[in-house]
A and B are shown apart, each in its own frame.
Chain A
Amino acid sequence: MKIGVVVFPGSNCDHDALHVSGLAAGQEAVPLWHESTDLQGCDAIIVPGGFSFGDYLRTGAIARFSAVMEPLRRFADAGHPVLGICNGFQILCEAGLLPGALLRNAGLRFVCRPVYLRVETTSTPFTGACERGQVLCVPVAHGEGNYYANPDVLERLEQRQQVVFRYCEADGAVTAAANPNGSLANIAGICNEGRNVVGMMPHPERASEGGLGSSDGFRIFESLLICK
C-alpha cells in the first residue's frame, strides 16, 4: 500500500505522518506538495496536522484552495481512504468533505495532553482493526478542536453512525470532564456518509511507538492495512 501525506506551507506533522506510515507501518509513504495535482498513485491519503498557511483567516480556510484539493476531492469521491488529523480535519471540514466545523476550544487555550477516545464505529478504513467501544489513549494538541454542527447535521451524524471517536474517561464513560475542548457530544472524530473520509482532532501518529507514552494510535494505521 502506498500512503500519501499532503504537505501545505505550515504543515508540521507531515514528517510524523510519513514516519509512522512509512517506517512503522512498513508501507511506502510519499509527501504530496500542495501545489501539485499528481497524487502519485497513492492508495490512501493523510492530511496531516500543523498550521497550514499559519491558520490565517481561519484554520484550514486557505488550504482548501490549494491545487491538491481538487484531485483529493475526486480521490475521496471515488471511495478511497482519506484521513485528516487535527489541522487536516479542519481542512477537510472547510473543503466540505466532512460536515461541521471546528471552533476555538471552550477554554480558549491551546490544549496538549493525552486523552482517552472511545471507538464508536469500526466500519471505516481507519478503525477496522479496533473493536467497538474500545478505549484508546492518544494525545490532542490544538487550539481549535471544538467540534460543532447544526442540530440536524448532528442528528444525521448520530443516526448514520458517522461519529467515529468520542472523548471519554479511561473506562470509556463519556463525561463532560473528559472533553478537552467543548466539542458537541464529546465528538473527537467523524466520517463522511461514504465512510471513507475520516477526520479526527487527536494525533494517532504521536501514539504509535513504545516510549512515546502510548502505541494505541497505531491501531488507526493498522486498520488501513486490513481495509483492502
Chain B
Amino acid sequence: MQVSPELLAQHGISPAEYDKIRTLLGRAPNLTELGVFSVMWSEHCSYKSTRVHLKQLPTSGPRILQGPGENAGIIDVGDGWACAFKIESHNHPSYIEPFQGAATGVGGILRDIFTMGARPVAIMDSLRFGPLRTGDDPSGTTNEVTARRNHTILDGVVGGIAHYGNCFGVANLGGETVFHPCYSGNPLVNAFALGLARHDGLFYGKASGVGNPVMYVGAKTGRDGIHGATMASEEFSEASEAKRPNVQVGDPFLEKLLLEACLEAMQTGAIAGIQDMGAAGLTSSSCEMGARAGTGIDLDLDRVPQRETGMTAYEMLLSESQERMLLVAHAGREAEVTAVFQKWGLDAVCVGAVTGDGKMRVRHQGKVVAEIPNVALTDEAPRYRRPQQAPVRTLPLDPPAGLTRSHDWNAELLQLLGSPNIASKAWVYEQYDTMVRTNTLAGPGGDAGVIRIKGTQRALAMALDGNGRYCMLDPRLGAQLAVAEAARKVACTGAEPIALTNCLNFGNPEKPEVMWQLAQAIEGMGEACRALDTPVTGGNVSLYNETLGQGIFPTPVMGVVGLLDLSRQRFPLGARFRAAGRQVMLLAASAALDAKTALRELGSSEYATVIAGQVWGTPPALDLEAERALQQCLVTAHREGWLESAHQVSTGGLAVALAEGCVSRTVEAPAGTRIGVAVDLAGTEEDRVALFAESATRVLVSGEARHLQRFAALARERGLQAHVLGQTVAEGFTITRQGESLVRLELATLAQTWEQGFERQWSAQAVVA
C-alpha cells in the first residue's frame, strides 16, 4: 500500500506518528490498521494532548471504588450500594446534526453506565448555544441567519435529549442551558449520567480468561459514524456540514432492550467482562478490554451481525453504529447469555476469543486483516506536552467610564431575571421525563437534582457547573470556581459532595494559547478537588471546538455527586422560601472587598454582560478553605434541621438569588403559594455590587430565627460571616439599603418575568422562522 501524505492527513496522523506506528508494528501498517490507529490515536480516544496534565488530578479516596480509566467512575455510597457516573461531550455531532447528535450523546453515556452493571437512574445535561436573538449579542456579531441556526440547534438538541432519555426511561434532573456568541459555531452538549449497582454486581471492561469467548451483542453494524472520533479531533470548516454521515443515528428503544438484556445476563454469572462500543466501536472496545486485562483478542468479522452488505474490514472496525456491546463470557456458558438476549429480541453472537498474546487480531473473509499489539493502540498512543503561551489580555481590568451611579434597580433586576442565562428553563426541561422510576426528590430548576435510593435512607444529589466567561478571564480560577460551585450546589441540598467528573471543552490544543488555558484549567480543577475532597473519577476531553478558526471560551464543566443522609431529615433542601415570617440569612466567606477589587470582579458577572454589555476585570476570588467550611456547615445544618431553604448565590448575584428563592419551583404542586422577602443590605460597597456581584462562597438560607442563630454560631466558629438580611413575607419583594429602598417589586411581576423570559426569546424567533 502506498502511504501518501494525503492519506495520512485524511486519517489525522502526523508523519512522526506514522513513523511511530511503523516502529511499534515492525512494519508498515495496511489501510485497515492505519484506520484503527487513526481512531485510537485520535485526540478523542487517546487524550494525547491532555494525558500528561490530567495525571496530576486527585483520583483516590476512601469512597472511590473505580477511578479514571474505566467506562465510568464508581463510588461507594453505603449500604452495599455503588454509584457509577460520568459526563461526556457530544459537541461536534450536535453541531452537524443536532437531534441525532444529542440523542446519541445521551445513548453513549447511558451505555457507559450500564456496562458497569449499574442501572441508570438519572441524567443531566450541560448545554451551550449561541444567542437566539440578534439583540442578545451586544458585540453585534450575531446576525439573523446565525440566530436562526442557533435556534434550530437548540430545538434539535433538546428534542434529541428528550427523545432518547424519555424512551429509555431515565429521569432527567436538568443541568445548565447557557447562551453566548462564542458557542454559535460550536454548541456544547455535555451529557451526564448516574447509575446504581450493588457492590457485588459491578462489571468491568476487561477481557480476562484466555480461551473465553468474545460476544457481540445488540444492534447490527452499519456504515454510520465512521471516523466520528477523528471528526471530533479537528476544527470545523465550511466543509464540515458534508460530514453528516459521520454522525450516528440512535435508537433508544434498542438501547432500552440492551439495558434490560445486559443487566439480566449479568445476573446469570456467565459474563466475565463487558464494554460498550462507543467512539471507534469494535476497535476501541476490543483493544481496550484486552489492554486492561493484558490479553489479546481474536475477532472474526464475518460473524459480526451486519445491516449492510459489502462492508470492508476497515468500515466494520471503524463503524460507530449505536447500541452495541462487546462482552467476554466464561467459556461454556455462551448459551446462557444468548438465551437472555434472545428473550429481548437482540443479537448475541460469538465473534472471537480471548488470547494470551496481547494482540488484537482481526480476520475477514479468511484472512488476517489487522494484527496490532493492544498496548500499541492504548498505552503507547502518543502523548504530547504541547507548547503553551498565555494569551495577551485585551480586555480592560477596570470598569468602563460609562458605568454611572444613577440607576433603576427594579428595571435592571427584571432585565436580568428575564435574560436568557437566568430566566426559567422550564421550556427545556418540561420536554424531559424528570420523574420516571419514582426516585426524584428534586428535579430540574433548583441548585441540584436529588434522587433517593429505594430501600435505604440515602439519596444522591448531583449538579453540573461551568462558566466560560470566568475561564476566558482566568482559566485556573475559573476551573476552581466551577468545581466550587458544582459542589456548593450539591451542598445546598444538604448533601455532602463526595466525587467529581468533568468535561473539558476547549479549542485547538495545537494553539499554544489554548493549550495554556487547558493546562491552567486542569491545574485549577486539581487544586479545588483536593481542597474540597472531591476526587476525580473520570470524564472526557473535547478539543478542537473551533469553527473557521474561531474558538469557544475555555469551558470546563464539572459534575459533582453528593451523598444525602435522609435518616434525620426526610427531604433535601431547596432554593424556594417555604413560609412567611422566617429569617433570611446570607452566609459568606469573608469581609467585603475594597471598592476597586469589587468593581473589577463585577466585570465578569452576568450583570456586566447583560446590563453593561461589556466584560472587564477578573472572576471572583475564591478561598477554597472557606468554601469547604461553608459546605460542611450546610451539611451539618440540614442534618440538625435548622434550615428550611438554601440557595447558592451565583449568576446574577444576591438580588437574583433572592428573587429565585421567591419564584423557583419545587417538585411540589404546580404553583403553590409564593413567599416574598423583605431584606436590608448592610455593608459599604456600591449598591450595584451589593445587588449583582457574583462573589463566590455565598449561600442564602431561611429558617426560624432560633435555628439560624445556632447556624450562624457554627458558621462564625468556622471563620465564616453570617449576616441576617431580613424576613420572608407573605407579599412583595423589597430590598433596602440602610432603610433606603433599592428594589420594590410585586411577586407576580418577578415570577412572570422569570418564567416567560426564555419563552419570549423563543417566540420572538419563532415568528421569524
Q: Measuring CB to CB, which residues of chain A are less than 8 angstroms from any residue of chain B?
A: 9-10, 12-13, 15-16, 19-20, 50-51, 53-56, 109-116, 137, 139, 141, 143, 170, 203, 205-206, 208-214
Chain B residue, CB-CB nearest to A209: B438
Query: Chain B contacts of A12 at CB under 8 A?
Result: 167-169, 256, 436
Given contacts A54-B252, A211-B571, are A116 and B430 in contact (CB under 8 A)?
no
Query: Chain B contacts of A206 at CB under 8 A?
Result: 435-436, 438
Q: Is B454 an interface residue (CB 8 A)?
A: yes
Query: Chain A contacts of B670 at CB under 8 A?
Result: 113-116, 137, 170
Query: Chain B contacts of A53 at CB under 8 A?
Result: 253
Whether B345 pairs with A141 at a CB distance below 8 angstroms is: no
Whether A210 pairs with B169 at a CB distance below 8 angstroms is: no
Query: Chain A contacts of B256 at CB under 8 A?
Result: 9-10, 12, 51, 54
Q: Of the candidates A54, A139, A210, which one forms a contact with B251 in the assembled complex, judged by CB atoms under 8 Å apart? A: A54
Query: Chain B contacts of A139 at CB under 8 A?
Result: 435
Write the nearest CB–CB distance from A13 to chain B, whole angstroms. 6
Whether B668 pairs with A203 at a CB distance below 8 angstroms is: no
Query: Chain B contacts of A208 at CB under 8 A?
Result: 438
Q: Measuring CB to CB, which residues of chain B are less than 8 angstroms from any residue of chain A?
A: 159, 162, 166-169, 251-254, 256-257, 344-345, 426, 429-438, 440-441, 452, 454, 570-571, 666-671
Whether B432 pairs with A13 at a CB distance below 8 angstroms is: no
Whether A112 pairs with B252 at a CB distance below 8 angstroms is: no
Q: Of the candidates A13, A55, A113, A209, which one forms a contact with B169 in the assembled complex, judged by CB atoms under 8 Å apart? A: A13
Chain A residue, CB-CB nearest to B432: A112
Write the nearest CB–CB distance from B344 to chain A, whole angstroms. 7
Whether A112 pairs with B667 at a CB distance below 8 angstroms is: no
Please report the C-alpha to C-alpha distance between residue A19 and residue B439 in the assembled complex, in whole angstroms.
Answer: 11
Query: Chain A contacts of B159 at CB under 8 A?
Result: 109
Query: Chain A contacts of B434 at CB under 8 A?
Result: 112, 141
Given contacts A12-B256, A211-B452, are A112 and B433 in contact (CB under 8 A)?
yes
Chain A residue, CB-CB nearest to B439: A212
Query: Chain A contacts of B252 at CB under 8 A?
Result: 51, 54
Whether A10 pairs with B167 at a CB distance below 8 angstroms is: yes
Write the nearest CB–CB distance from B461 to chain A, whole angstroms. 14
Chain A residue, CB-CB nearest to B452: A211
Chain A residue, CB-CB nearest to B671: A170
Query: Chain B contacts of A15 at CB under 8 A?
Result: 437
Chain B CB within 10 Å, residue with most, of A112, A170, A213: A112
Given contacts A19-B454, A20-B438, A209-B438, are A10 and B257 in contact (CB under 8 A)?
yes
Supply 19 further A-B pairs (C-beta < 8 A) apart from A51-B256, A112-B431.
Answer: A9-B253, A12-B168, A12-B256, A51-B252, A51-B253, A54-B254, A54-B256, A56-B253, A111-B430, A112-B166, A113-B430, A114-B668, A137-B669, A143-B166, A170-B671, A212-B667, A213-B666, A214-B668, A214-B669
Query: Chain A contacts of B667 at CB under 8 A?
Result: 114, 212-213
Write the nearest CB–CB distance from B700 to chain A, whole angstroms. 23
Whether A111 pairs with B435 at a CB distance below 8 angstroms is: no
Query: Chain B contacts of A50 at CB under 8 A?
Result: 169
Q: List 25 A-B contacts (CB under 8 A).
A: A9-B257, A9-B345, A12-B168, A12-B436, A15-B437, A16-B437, A110-B162, A110-B166, A110-B431, A110-B432, A110-B433, A112-B429, A112-B430, A112-B433, A112-B435, A115-B670, A141-B435, A170-B670, A203-B435, A205-B438, A206-B435, A206-B436, A212-B435, A212-B440, A213-B435
Write the nearest CB–CB distance from B659 to chain A, whole angstroms. 21
Query: Chain A contacts of B433 at CB under 8 A?
Result: 110, 112, 141
Whether A210 pairs with B344 at a CB distance below 8 angstroms is: no
Query: Chain A contacts of B431 at CB under 8 A?
Result: 109-112
Write the nearest CB–CB distance from A50 to chain B, whole angstroms. 6
Write the nearest CB–CB distance from B443 to chain A, whole angstroms. 8
Query: Chain B contacts of A214 at CB under 8 A?
Result: 668-669
Chain B CB within 10 Å, residue with most, of A51, A56, A211: A211
Whether A212 pairs with B167 at a CB distance below 8 angstroms is: no
Query: Chain B contacts of A114 at CB under 8 A?
Result: 667-670
Please report the C-alpha to C-alpha distance between residue A206 and residue B253 in the assembled complex, in whole angstroms.
Answer: 22
Query: Chain A contacts of B169 at CB under 8 A?
Result: 12-13, 50-51
Please report the C-alpha to C-alpha distance between residue A184 and residue B44 in the assembled complex, in whole angstroms.
Answer: 51
Chain A residue, CB-CB nearest to B163: A110
Write the nearest CB–CB distance from A226 to chain B, whole angstroms. 23
Write the nearest CB–CB distance from B144 to chain A, whole angstroms. 24
Please report the C-alpha to C-alpha distance between residue A50 and residue B571 in the assembled complex, in whole angstroms.
Answer: 27
A-B CB proximity, top 5 nearest: A12-B169, A54-B253, A213-B667, A51-B167, A16-B438
Chain B residue, CB-CB nearest to A49: B436
Chain B residue, CB-CB nearest to A12: B169
Query: Chain A contacts of B438 at CB under 8 A?
Result: 16, 19-20, 205-206, 208-209, 212
Write the nearest CB–CB distance from B201 to chain A, whole angstroms. 16
Query: Chain A contacts of B571 at CB under 8 A?
Result: 211
Query: Chain A contacts of B167 at CB under 8 A?
Result: 10, 12, 51, 54-55
Query: Chain A contacts of B345 at CB under 8 A?
Result: 9
Chain A CB within 10 Å, residue with most, of B431, B441, B570: B431
Chain A residue, CB-CB nearest to B566: A211
Whether A213 pairs with B668 at a CB distance below 8 angstroms is: yes
Write the nearest CB–CB distance from A136 to chain B, whole angstroms. 11
Please report the C-alpha to C-alpha distance between residue A172 and residue B253 in the assembled complex, in whole angstroms.
Answer: 37
Please report the C-alpha to C-alpha distance between residue A13 and residue B571 in the assembled complex, in whole angstroms.
Answer: 23
Please report the C-alpha to C-alpha distance between residue A110 and residue B160 in the assembled complex, in whole angstroms.
Answer: 11
Query: Chain A contacts of B166 at CB under 8 A?
Result: 51, 110, 112, 141, 143
Chain B residue, CB-CB nearest to A116: B670
Q: Of the candidates A10, A141, A209, A211, which one forms a contact with B436 in the assembled complex, judged by CB atoms under 8 Å apart? A: A141
Write the nearest CB–CB distance from B459 to chain A, whole angstroms. 9
Write the nearest CB–CB distance from A200 to chain B, whole angstroms. 16
